[in-house]
Structure 1
C-alpha cells in the first residue's frame, strides 16, 4: 500500500466515525449531547477559548502568510 492510500483510508475512517457519532447522537438525544451542545459547553471554558484562538492564529500564520 502506498502512503497516499493509507492517508486517504485514514480520512475515510475519520469521516465514517464522525458520521456514526452524529447518527448515534441523533438517535439517543436524551443521553448523548449533540455536537452543537458539546461545542457550546466547551467554548464556555476560558482556557479552551484561548487555546482555540492561539491554534487559529498558528494555522493562519503558517498557511496563509506565504
Structure 2
C-alpha cells in the first residue's frame, strides 16, 4: 500500500469518526456536546483561536499558493 493510500484512508477514518460523533450528539442531546458547542467553547480561548488561524494559513499556503 502506498503512502498516499494510507493518508487517504486515515482522512476517511477521521471523517467517519467526526460524522459518527455528530450523529451521537444529535441522537443523545444530553450526554454528548454538539460540534458547534464544542467549537464555540474551544474558541473562547485565545491560544486556540491563534492555532486555528495559523492552521488555516498553513492550509491556504499549501493548497492555494501553488
Normalised to the residue count of structure 2, the TM-score between the two structures is 0.74
Task: Report the number of matched residues.
Answer: 65
Q: 1:41 aligns to what SS in structure 2?
A: helix
Alignment partner, residue 36 of structure 2: 36
SS at match of 1:62: helix
Query: Paired residue for 2:25?
Result: 25
Tell me the distance in 1 between the aligned counterparts of 2:25 and 2:13: 18
1:19/1:55 CA distance change after superposition, 3 Å? closer
Structure 2, gaps ≥5 residues long: none
Flag the structure with larger Rg.
1
Given the two structures, how large is their TM-score scaled by the length of structure 1? 0.74
Unpaired stretches in structure 1, ≥5 consecutive residues: none
